Amino acid sequence: MKSFVGELKRHALTAISYMLPLVVASGLLIAIGNLMGGQVISDLDALTIPSALTSLGVFGMGLLPSFIAGYISYSIADRPGIAPGFLMGQIASFLGAGFLGGMIGGYIVGYVALGIKKYLKVPKWAQALMPMMIIPTLASIIAGLIMYFVVGTPIVWATDGLTNFITGLDQSSKVLYGFVIGALGCIDFGGPISKVPNLICDGLLMEGILEPEAIKVLAAMVPPLGITFSLVLSKIINKRIYTKTEVENIKVAFPMGLCMISEGVIPIAMNDLLRTVICTATGCGVTGAVSFSLGVGSPVPSGGIFVIPAMTAPVAAVIALLAGTAVTGFMLVFIKKRKTDADDIEIEEVEEQLDLSGIKF
């Protein structure tokens, strides 16, 4: 069971890697177009460059169910799964099942295509037609009927229920759920745990709910920025909490953090994992709570500080980011143990023991 769940996760992550450039490009097009006063066009006579950019971005976002379904199916069944997967995404869009419908449709048609590929025996003369015609056609028929008549309506109900739940939250609930989304979204610094809430945020973005996406973007920057702030603060109060090696790693992690890449803090966190995770998760949670309660929304799912101007409330976004950064920094300075020169020597000895430079292949 555990291996099967891991397999499902692997297929989803493969699809997301293909889908992410479309999401980023479409989101930026919408943001740029909106900043220039554009809107979605319904009449070519009213076409302007800003409206063309906004409309192009909206069209791109409309492709997301097909992208996620097509590439999940591709990850499962290889090339024969691509076309049927895109068709399941179109069904999901038609039914109003959105991102969730696209994911489920991709899994269904992918495993159907894989089953046909493995178990359907055809004459030798027809084998060349299997990947190009037989598998895509049969998989589309079987999975399409399942989507239309079996799982489509329940998926729509689930999507509508989640949308109504998020949009119906009161102010106190937004603080709580914003904290949870923010904390979970960066608890393992871009690892498998954080992928789950972040995927939900991406799905809600497709439904026009922008606030969770803003939490994802802002919270991802908090761990490296918070650790950098703690380094500065520790120097001010003369409490050394990082070794020389960790300081060098922080210099690398900081610019990565500005670009929404949390993984740069992993080498630093691994030396004091429990304390670091507690501090960074708390800071991310504070950012999420402030961001959600102030109504910050992001039409762009990635980009770090460079997409803050495109958010619905840029000033509030900066406030949320600074709040989480400050909380993380103060907590780290308060709970981390003071470092000495002996700690530097210890780290250097470990690095010498792990030197693999003499290995030749």
Give pLDDT tens digits for 324-345: 999 999 999 999 888 776 665 5
- Sign for the pseudo-dihedral over CA of 345, 347, 350, 352: negative
333-342's contacts with Cβ under 8 Å and 24+ in sequence apart are: 333/230, 333/233, 333/234, 333/237, 333/239, 333/241, 335/275, 335/278, 335/279, 336/230, 336/241, 336/272, 336/275, 337/241, 337/272, 338/239, 338/240, 338/241, 339/240, 339/241, 339/242, 339/243, 340/240
337: helix, coil or strand?
Answer: coil
CA-to-CA dists, residue 200 to 30, 172, 254, angstroms:
21, 21, 27
Confidence of residue 91 (pLDDT cuts 50, 70, 90): very high
Determine which of 26-35, 68-77, 215-224, 252-261 has the lowest per-residue pLDDT on average. 26-35
Q: Mean pLDDT for the chain?
A: 84
Say if residues 313 and 214 touch (Cβ distance below 8 Å): no
- The residue type of 133 is M
Say if residues 308 and 314 touch (Cβ distance below 8 Å): yes
Residues ≥6 apart with Cβ < 8 Å to 322: none
* C-beta neighbour count of 110 within 10 angstroms: 30
123: helix, coil or strand?
Answer: coil
pLDDT attached to residue 351: 44
Q: What is the value of pTM for the model shown?
A: 0.68
Instruction: Output phi, psi for 170, to 5 deg.
Output: -85, 180
Say if residues 226 and 279 touch (Cβ distance below 8 Å): yes
User: Does the pLDDT value for residue 151 go beyond 90?
Assistant: no
- The residue type of 360 is K
- The residue type of 191 is G
pLDDT attached to residue 113: 94
Q: How far is CA 206 from the centre of its chain?
A: 13
> Which of 19-23, 41-45, 270-274 has the largest mean confidence?
270-274
**Distance from C-alpha of 312 to C-alpha of 187, rounded to nearest angstrom:** 26
Confidence of residue 353 (pLDDT cuts 50, 70, 90): very low
Say if residues 173 and 161 touch (Cβ distance below 8 Å): no
pLDDT attached to residue 352: 47
Confidence of residue 191 (pLDDT cuts 50, 70, 90): low
User: Does the pLDDT value for residue 135 go beyond 70?
Assistant: yes
pLDDT attached to residue 344: 59
Q: How far is CA 153 from the centre of its chain?
A: 26
Instruction: Output phi, psi for 66, to 5 deg.
Output: -70, -40
Tally the residues of the chain. Answer: 361
Residue bearing tokens 């960790």? 246
Q: Which residue has the higher pLDDT, 276 or 13?
A: 276
Name which of 328, 339, 322, 215 is nearest 276 in CA terms.
328
pLDDT attached to residue 354: 41
Neighbour-count burial of 93, counting CB atoms closer than 10 A to its CB (0-12 exposed, 13-18 middle, 19+ buried)? buried
Say if residues 116 and 81 touch (Cβ distance below 8 Å): no
Task: Copy the structure tokens of residue 254.
Answer: 């900081």
- Average of per-residue pLDDT across 304-322: 91
Residue bearing tokens 């973005």? 205
Determine which of 42-56, 66-80, 216-230 has the lowest per-residue pLDDT on average. 42-56
Confidence of residue 320 (pLDDT cuts 50, 70, 90): very high
Say if residues 114 and 76 touch (Cβ distance below 8 Å): yes
